A and B are shown apart, each in its own frame.
Chain A
Amino acid sequence: MASVTLEHVKKIYDNKVVAVQDFNLEIKDKEFVVFVGPSGCGKSTTLRMIAGLEDISEGILKIGDRVVNDVEPKDRDIAMVFQNYALYPHISVYENLAFSLRIRKIPQEEVHRRVVQAAHILGIEAYLDRKPRALSGGQRQRAAIGRAIVREPQVFLMDEPLSNLDAKLRNQMRAEIILLRRRLDTTFVYVTHDQTEAMTLGDRIVIMKDGFIQQVGSPQEVFEKPQNLFVAGFIGSPQMNVFDAELEEDAGEYTVVLPGFRLRLEGERAQLLRKRCIASQAVKLGVRPEHAQALFEARDNSLKGSIAVNEMMGSELHLHILREGEQNVILRVPTVDLSPAQRAILEAGQTIHFSFQSKVVQLFDPQTEQSLLF
């Protein structure tokens, strides 16, 4: 168990491509941190630098109190689970699990004890004699995790471990990783491109793009207070709706103006804007699909559009609404309380009015794309 500290870590490849820019992060002991971002954002590269599989171009990497920039992977006391499992195909699952222990010349009884224990935790005792190719995807993934567990490492690194599994198995393994984490109680660094995984697994999420950290925070924080437009769009599903709007300031009162819709900002949001002395300006207005309400009758001071697509998800409907023939707005409407008449209104081709409240809106500067509420 140990903390991991990255100070001004940079990765520049030989061809001068900068993969990771000035990465600063302190991962606390026993913390579960998730790196998330689109492909090519540098999340895997950062993880591989922690593992020692990539050289660090600049900056300092510490595991515990030890600077490990030039320490070989084998001496860092870490374990890593790979996306493609990386099981050794020519030896049995048992030997795969025992591999690292045998290298460390751990006594046979101890090896056996740890392998059996890890297999028990992961429910793969029955497959220990098999070769990896005789296992299903989920079992291979478990074996790969098992190989990491037996090491009892200070830090667990996981590089998109669930990406190769089908959707159902992925949900199941996600829950198992949560359980496993509770059981092992050690430091985890987890890389994924899937924001659901990031939200459900992480104590803290590090959102990255183009080699830069966009935001670091708890799942709740990054969801409720996205620092910029990218984070707002990346976290949450379906994506946050973004409108071009005007912010009007009048004697400390703030109003967001859209064609046909005015919304006075109240409470914390207005206070924040006042504190930052924001004047009237154009803004990007963000509203999450679940925070906008469909109105079932025409109402003044509301937005309207025609329903292009109506996706029935079971417990909720996803409405894709074309506003003024252009913009696609998504609304999530819970189905449980809908009357038949209301349901009829939500069919494709119908015109629908919708609005939202002051406490759910996000405001971003259109130039810098930074949040005005931060």
Chain B
Amino acid sequence: MAKRDAIPEVETYIDHQAGVIREVQPPAPRSKKAAERRANRAIYTALVIISVVWLAPFLFLVLQSFRSYLTEDGGMVSYLVPKAFSLDNYRFLFEDGRYLRWYTNTLTIALFVSVLQTGMVLSVSYVLSRMRFRGRRFIMNMILVLGMFPGFLTLIALYFLLKQFGLTQEGAIPGLILIYVASSGMGYYISKGFFDTIPKSLDESARIDGATRFYVFRRIIMPLSKPIVIYTILMGFMAPWGDYVFASYVAFGKSDSYNVAVGLYRWVNTLDFQGYFTRFCAGGVLVAIPITILFFLLQRYYVEGVTGGAVKG
């Protein structure tokens, strides 16, 4: 009885920052730690399984790409690891002009689109985030609703429009850039959300300091928005990089205007499926390389918060 009523001795310390006396928290009991470890183990096991499932096709692709079409077999086989590793497929890709042409096409389109689209998306987002004008809400809702229709619905109409301007077949590359960029402002949602988190008083302060709207955008908002700028660039690059549907229709039948996806698919589809399969795989690996490098270089910006210190908080 007496024991239960006794006040337990508690160690205290003075928290100078808050100006209060706090109790020293006793270390968590051991069993809790063990439970935590068990939970972690389960989580990691699940993650490993998921990543194996995700990586398996890519591993398959890489392994196939090293099987020579000359000495072994260029088509589908029943084993995974090639009998001898060879670079014949890659050599073929570089020596055969078609692949390089497609690659250049894809790169050209992707670079143009990522630059133009980033400009478009960020401008639209900034305007929708910062300016108040009649019809703003209507425009935002409209874009949201329109965005719910798949882009392919417009495919046929777009094809005929582009044809009028000579932007199909031979002119497919500028035509595709135009298509990708034209509707890109509709993807304003994420960057607008980001801009909304930057205090408006920064804009106001800069405008009083003598800056124009554009100066504020360029010198205040952009430096603070690095993560979202990079995200936008990446998205702008990746969409045309991997596009098949639009590219195959707009470049229809004109091999010089194909992008990599269309070209490679035609190899395995219309030419000789058994003969070109390993070369198709090698082409796929090369396509993945720039994107992978980009991601590794830029991934830290995804999570980096930069507004610390801007306002009290």
- A positions within 8 Å CB-CB of B: 14, 51-53, 72-74, 76, 78-80, 82-91, 99-100, 103-104, 131-135, 137, 140, 147, 151, 164
Partner of B310, one of A83, A103, A132: A132
A-B CB contact pairs (8 Å), 9 listed: A53-B208, A74-B208, A82-B201, A84-B311, A89-B224, A89-B306, A100-B210, A132-B309, A133-B310
Q: Among B202, B204, B208, B308, find the residue whose CB has the most chain A CB atoms closer than 10 A.
A: B208
Shortest Cβ gap from B79 to chain A (Å):
56
- Please give, as numbers and ranges, the residues of chain A lying within 8 Å of B132 by CB-CB distance: 14
Minimum-distance CB pairs A-B, first 4: A133-B309, A100-B209, A84-B311, A86-B201
Chain B stretch 278-313: residues in CB contact (< 8 A) with chain A:
306-312
- Please give, as numbers and ranges, the residues of chain B lying within 8 Å of A151 by CB-CB distance: 209
**In the complex, which residue of chain A has the Cβ closest to the Cβ of B209?**
A100
Query: Quick check: A84 and B201 within 8 Å, CB to CB?
Result: yes
- Please give, as numbers and ranges, the residues of chain A lying within 8 Å of B310 by CB-CB distance: 84, 86-89, 132-133
Complex Cα–Cα for A104 and B210 (A): 7
**In the complex, which residue of chain A has the Cβ closest to the Cβ of B198?**
A89
Query: Quick check: A73 and B308 within 8 Å, CB to CB?
Result: no
**In the complex, which residue of chain B has the Cβ closest to the Cβ of A78?**
B208
- Please give, as numbers and ranges, the residues of chain A lying within 8 Å of B183 by CB-CB distance: none
Complex Cα–Cα for A132 and B208 (A): 19
Question: Known interface pairs A132-B309, A134-B309, A164-B312. Does A147 touch B209 (Cβ–Cβ under 8 Å)?
Answer: yes
Chain B stretch 199-215: residues in CB contact (< 8 A) with chain A:
199, 201-202, 204-212, 215
Query: Quick check: B208 and A80 within 8 Å, CB to CB?
Result: yes
B220 touches A (CB below 8 Å): yes
Query: Quick check: B309 and A89 within 8 Å, CB to CB?
Result: yes
Shortest Cβ gap from B175 to chain A (Å):
39
- Please give, as numbers and ranges, the residues of chain B lying within 8 Å of A74 by CB-CB distance: 207-212
Shortest Cβ gap from B45 to chain A (Å):
40
Query: Quick check: A73 and B207 within 8 Å, CB to CB?
Result: yes
Query: Quick check: B306 and A88 within 8 Å, CB to CB?
Result: no
Partner of A103, one of B210, B223, B312: B210
Query: Quick check: B209 and A85 within 8 Å, CB to CB?
Result: no
Shortest Cβ gap from B103 to chain A (Å):
37
Complex Cα–Cα for A47 and B232 (A): 37
- Please give, as numbers and ranges, the residues of chain B lying within 8 Å of A86 by CB-CB distance: 199, 201-202, 204-205, 310-311
Shortest Cβ gap from A173 to chain B (Å):
14
- Please give, as numbers and ranges, the residues of chain A lying within 8 Å of B210 by CB-CB distance: 74, 100, 103-104
Give the dominant DSSP class at B's interface: loop
Shortest Cβ gap from B47 to chain A (Å):
34
- Please give, as numbers and ranges, the residues of chain A lying within 8 Å of B212 by CB-CB distance: 74
- Please give, as numbers and ranges, the residues of chain B lying within 8 Å of A103 by CB-CB distance: 209-211, 215
Question: Known interface pairs A82-B201, A84-B201. Does A89 touch B206 (Cβ–Cβ under 8 Å)?
Answer: no
Complex Cα–Cα for A76 and B208 (A): 8
- Please give, as numbers and ranges, the residues of chain A lying within 8 Å of B199 by CB-CB distance: 84, 86
- Please give, as numbers and ranges, the residues of chain B lying within 8 Å of A133 by CB-CB distance: 308-310
Complex Cα–Cα for A137 and B313 (A): 10
- Please give, as numbers and ranges, the residues of chain A lying within 8 Å of B309 by CB-CB distance: 87, 89, 131-135, 140
Question: Known interface pairs A74-B209, A89-B308, A133-B309. Does A82 touch B204 (Cβ–Cβ under 8 Å)?
Answer: yes
- Please give, as numbers and ranges, the residues of chain A lying within 8 Å of B209 by CB-CB distance: 74, 79, 99-100, 103, 147, 151
- Please give, as numbers and ranges, the residues of chain B lying within 8 Å of A51 by CB-CB distance: 204, 208
Query: Quick check: A90 and B224 within 8 Å, CB to CB?
Result: yes
Complex Cα–Cα for A78 and B205 (A): 11
- Please give, as numbers and ranges, the residues of chain A lying within 8 Å of B223 by CB-CB distance: 90-91
Partner of B205, one of A76, A82, A131: A82
Question: Known interface pairs A74-B211, A84-B312. Does A99 touch B206 (Cβ–Cβ under 8 Å)?
Answer: yes
Query: Quick check: A53 and B204 within 8 Å, CB to CB?
Result: yes
Digit string of B206-239 for contact with A (CB within 8 Å is 1, else 0)? 1111111001000010011000000000000000
Contacts beyond the supplied A51-B208, A82-B205: 16 A-B pairs with Cβ under 8 Å: A52-B207, A53-B204, A73-B204, A74-B210, A74-B211, A79-B208, A80-B204, A84-B199, A86-B204, A88-B206, A89-B224, A89-B310, A91-B223, A100-B209, A103-B210, A133-B310
Complex Cα–Cα for A91 and B307 (A): 11
Shortest Cβ gap from A80 to chain B (Å):
5
- Please give, as numbers and ranges, the residues of chain B lying within 8 Å of A87 by CB-CB distance: 309-310
Digit string of B32-59 for contact with A (CB within 8 Å is 1, else 0)? 0000000000000000000000000000
Shortest Cβ gap from A220 to chain B (Å):
33
Shortest Cβ gap from A52 to chain B (Å):
8
Query: Quick check: A137 and B312 within 8 Å, CB to CB?
Result: yes
Q: Among A52, A82, A132, find the residue whose CB has the most chain B CB atoms closer than 10 A.
A: A82
Question: Known interface pairs A89-B306, A90-B224. Does A72 touch B312 (Cβ–Cβ under 8 Å)?
Answer: no
**In the complex, which residue of chain A has the Cβ closest to the Cβ of B307?**
A89
- Please give, as numbers and ranges, the residues of chain A lying within 8 Å of B204 by CB-CB distance: 51, 53, 73, 80, 82, 86
Complex Cα–Cα for A82 and B212 (A): 19
- Please give, as numbers and ranges, the residues of chain A lying within 8 Å of B211 by CB-CB distance: 74, 103
- Please give, as numbers and ranges, the residues of chain A lying within 8 Å of B215 by CB-CB distance: 103
**In the complex, which residue of chain A has the Cβ closest to the Cβ of B313?**
A84
Question: Known interface pairs A132-B309, A133-B309. Does A88 touch B220 (Cβ–Cβ under 8 Å)?
Answer: yes
Q: Among A80, A84, A137, A140, find the residue whose CB has the most chain B CB atoms closer than 10 A.
A: A84
Complex Cα–Cα for A135 and B310 (A): 11
